[in-house]
Amino acid sequence: MKNITIIGTGYVGLVTGVGLSEFGNKVICTDINNDKISKLNSGKVPIYEPGLEEIIIRNIQNDRLFFSLDIAASIKKSEVIIIAVGTPQSDHGDADMQYVDSVVNTIKENLNNYKVICTKSTVPIGSGKKIIKSLKSSYKENSDFNYVSNPEFLREGSAVKDFLWPDRVIIGTSSLNAYETMCDIYRPLYINKNPIKRTSVETAEMIKYASNSFLALKISYINEIANLCEQVDADVHDVAVAMGKDGRISDKFLHPGPGFGGSCFPKDLRSLSYIAKENDVKMSTINAAIEANKKQKYLMCCKLENLVSGGLKGKEIAVLGLAFKANTDDIRDSSSIEMISFILSKSGKVNAYDPIANDSMLKIFPNIAYFQNVYEAVNKVDALVVMTEWNEFRSLDLRKIRSAMNGNFILDTRNILNMKELSALKFVYDNVGRQKI
């Protein structure tokens, strides 16, 4: 059991803090965002993540989980400091390290005894070396530390499960002491099988980028196969199912759709491409996946425009699903942003609905109409487009929708609607790579 400070209480920091407190550690989750910390201190969870609230409450009650704006004091009290701030994409395509740099300075100023300093944020390969150099640059007495790269692989929407039962935990460090400390904070994980793998700092940093990029590549690949299926009368669903039965391929991340979004894949691919360029290494596959994804998002917009007879000008379109995927309120780089922008650019009107993410999207599009349920959103619209694979969209009452809509056009970018039913109800529909019925 260790005393741990998490710096940055976003999707990753919060889940990590909560997960490590569940493992028996004493954790202070810190942030500079007053609103976030106040909410957490009054028992409210600032993000939507299934199962999170329950464990937060349990660990607060057990005196193992705390939230604070006082980062300096928290650092001084802790043996392990975990950096979990954002590393968004900069204007040049590489990761913007300003938040990490600022945290490293704060840590440097408050090192009062030996600590393990760990980066969980996704940072460019080589960042660890720079962080160590920076931390050593103003050596004070009693400011000894060891450094660890411990990248995070959780998926939003199933983050709690992913953190508590991970496929692997990567601990990149040259220090045996730091390695053992990290093993200690993850101790309950290796009661059954040990998912921990020790590597060098640089290898750990690379594992994160290589994993995300591979998954993104897989999505872009099946999207391109889907687009070809449409031209050659093949059905991508059957293709993906059959491919997935091959153990070497697996059925994960073989779902065609409107292009990947979210806070990780788009920026991590760009960052890896940037790192490769800096190192004079050509990564054709990564660049192709980025390009294919950009095209896929645009292709969905074109599909909608081609589907709705007479074009989008003056048409009312219901956009169902705003989050970049189901079970999260995160809309960062969501394909629905492109779709809404496109409809507006063609002088169409948008009726938006998401079970959780309306408020997040309101900040980007304050002037479109938001609704609290599907059936209100589709009332009198000319067309409907499904952008997120929320479970509630899988079982829509299509008959009710048909009679509420003025038009009969449906674009299903997630391939979750029943084509037989759509045909029977005389919808004019399109999807991604399926043979129409």
Q: Which stretch binds ligand NAD (CB under 6 A): 78-86, 276-284, 385-393, 417-425?
A: 78-86
Beta carbon of residue 353, minimum distance to ligand NAD (angstroms, whole number): 24
The residue sitting closest to ligand NAD, measured at its beta carbon, is 10
Single out the residue of 209, 214, 243 nearest to residue 229, CA to CA: 243
CB-wise, 155 or 295, nearer to ligand NAD? 155
CB-wise, 74 or 415, nearer to ligand NAD? 74
Q: What are phi and psi of 11, to 5 degrees?
A: -55, -45
- State the binding string over 92-111 for ligand NAD (x if CB under 6 A, else -): -------x--xx--------
Q: Does residue 156 bind ligand NAD (CB under 6 A)?
A: yes
Q: Does residue 25 bind ligand NAD (CB under 6 A)?
A: no
β-sheet bridge partners, residue 430: 411
Radius of gyration from C-alpha coordinates of the chain: 23
Residue with tokens 């400390």: 181
CB-wise, 30 or 415, nearer to ligand NAD? 30
Active site residue 264: yes
The CB density around residue 410, as the number of other CB atoms within 10 Å, is 27
Distance (Å, rounded) from C-alpha 316 to C-alpha 336?
A: 16
Distance (Å, rounded) from C-alpha 224 to C-alpha 233?
A: 14
- State the binding string over 245-274 for ligand NAD (x if CB under 6 A, else -): ------------------xx----------
Catalytic residue among 229, 264, 301, 302: 264
Q: Considering only residues 4, 13, 260, 300, which one is a binding residue for ligand NAD as defined by CB under 6 A?
A: 13
Distance (Å, rounded) from C-alpha 160 to C-alpha 12?
A: 10
Pair type for strands 26-30 and 145-149? unpaired
Beta carbon of residue 138, minimum distance to ligand NAD (angstroms, whole number): 18
The CB density around residue 11, as the number of other CB atoms within 10 Å, is 25
Vertex 130: Cα angle to 176 and 281 (nearest 5): 100
Residue with tokens 């691919």: 269
CB-wise, 16 or 413, nearer to ligand NAD? 16
Instruction: Decide: 205 and 125 in contact? Cβ < 8 Å.
Output: yes
CB-wise, 328 or 431, nearer to ligand NAD? 328
CB-wise, 131 or 385, nearer to ligand NAD? 131
- State the binding string over 205-244 for ligand NAD (x if CB under 6 A, else -): ----------------------------------------
- State the binding string over 32-61 for ligand NAD (x if CB under 6 A, else -): xx--x-------------------------
Burial of 280 (0-12, 13-18, 19+ CB in 10 A): exposed
**CA dihedral angle for residue 35, residue 39, residue 40, residue 46, rounded to 10 degrees:** -80
What single-letter amino acid sits at 157?
G
CB-wise, 29 or 318, nearer to ligand NAD? 29
Instruction: Decide: 146 and 36 in contact? Cβ < 8 Å.
Output: no
- State the binding string over 124-153 for ligand NAD (x if CB under 6 A, else -): ----------------------------x-
- Return the SS3 of 431: coil
First to last CA, the chain: 59
Q: Which stretch binds ligand NAD (CB under 6 A): 7-15, 49-57, 371-379, 392-400?
A: 7-15
Single out the residue of 291, 384, 323 nearest to residue 283, CA to CA: 291
Q: Which stretch binds ligand NAD (CB under 6 A): 26-34, 190-198, 231-239, 359-367?
A: 26-34
Beta carbon of residue 89, minimum distance to ligand NAD (angstroms, whole number): 10
Beta carbon of residue 152, minimum distance to ligand NAD (angstroms, whole number): 4
Instruction: Decide: 289 and 216 in contact? Cβ < 8 Å.
Output: yes
Look at the chain and count its residues. 437
Q: Does residue 85 bind ligand NAD (CB under 6 A)?
A: yes
Residue with tokens 């809404």: 340
Beta carbon of residue 103, minimum distance to ligand NAD (angstroms, whole number): 5
Q: Does residue 74 bind ligand NAD (CB under 6 A)?
A: no
Single out the residue of 114, 116, 119 nearest to residue 99, CA to CA: 119
String of b and e for 221-239 (b: at least 16 CB within 10 Å)? bbbbbbbebbeeebebbeb
Beta carbon of residue 95, minimum distance to ligand NAD (angstroms, whole number): 7
Residue with tokens 């759709």: 257
CB-wise, 102 or 279, nearer to ligand NAD? 102
Q: Does residue 84 bind ligand NAD (CB under 6 A)?
A: yes
Contact residues toward ligand NAD (CB under 6 A) are: 7-13, 30-33, 36, 71, 84-87, 99, 102-103, 121-122, 152, 154, 156, 263-264
Which residues belong to the active site?
264
